[in-house]
Chains A and B, each alone.
Chain A
Amino acid sequence: QQQVKQSPQSLIVQKGGISIINCAYENTAFDYFPWYQQFPGKGPALLIAIRPDVSEKKEGRFTISFNKSAKQFSLHIMDSQPGDSATYFCAATYNNNDMRFGAGTRLTVKP
């Protein structure tokens, strides 16, 4: 049973376009929502994270939007670049519980 549902499974975007990856959760106790980026052959690395007291967090071209009432959060990549091609994982946790990861989205940005 996946506690964090991620979509789409794969995404193809043209260079300069906006990439949007969505995640939904059921457990309202979750209070920390990170996004990890993974390049082929590498381990995941933290990209950006948000806590539910804010609705949006932006770091450069990457933005997390958080909708607490809908229990959804999403990653937006503005001006997508071929170097952004990677697999992206959303995750969620609370208190001292295990981090729960989404199934991942493979993003391909075409030049």
Chain B
Amino acid sequence: DAGITQSPRYKITETGRQVTLMCHQTWSHSYMFWYRQDLGHGLRLIYYSAAADITDKGEVPDGYVVSRSKTENFPLTLESATRSQTSVYFCASSERKKETQYFGPGTRLLVL
């Protein structure tokens, strides 16, 4: 199916472990984004990518790493998970940065 998918949908991990969240889109959109959603904060941008091999920090990048070797994939890695990274993570894509962003279904991450 066309669209944007995320995996896993739910993840429980422990403090200090490395976790990778996957994001895949089939539209060939240039831009891809990672947001975290926390109560009272709305959506906050972690990292974004304007094209393959081009990434840049957002508002809350500390503790996260991204890569984009292919246009359609944009994985987000928590190198050493902390409890404060417990959140719902959304991936999004758009053709241009200031255009409609299409969001995936989200990954609910719990760090114990």
B interface, size bucket: 20 to 34
Chain B residues within an 8 Å CB radius of A43: 90, 92, 103-106
How many Å lie between the Cα of A2 and that of B44 in the bound state? 10
Stretch from A14-22, A67-75, A100-108 that touches the partner: A100-108
Query: Chain B interface secondary structure, helix, strand, loop or mixed?
Result: loop
List CB contacts (< 8 Å) of B44-74 with chain A: 44-45, 48, 58-59
Chain B residues within an 8 Å CB radius of A98: 45, 48, 58-59
Q: Taking the nearest CB of chain A, how far is it from the CB of B98, in angstroms?
A: 5
Q: Which of B42, B97, B104 contacts A101 (CB 8 A)?
A: B42
Chain B residues within an 8 Å CB radius of A46: 100-101
The reply on A81 being an interface residue by CB < 8 A is no
How many Å lie between the Cα of A44 and that of B4 in the bound state? 12
Q: Which of A43, A96, A99, A104 has the largest count of B CB atoms less than 10 A from its CB?
A: A43
Q: Are A103 and B92 also in contact (CB < 8 A) when A32-B98, A43-B103 are?
A: no
Q: Are A96 and B98 also in contact (CB < 8 A) when A6-B42, A101-B43, A103-B40 are?
A: yes
Q: Taking the nearest CB of chain B, how far is it from the CB of A99, in angstroms?
A: 7
Give the B-binding residues of A (Cβ under 8 A): 2, 6, 9, 32, 34, 36, 41-46, 49, 89, 91, 93-99, 101-104
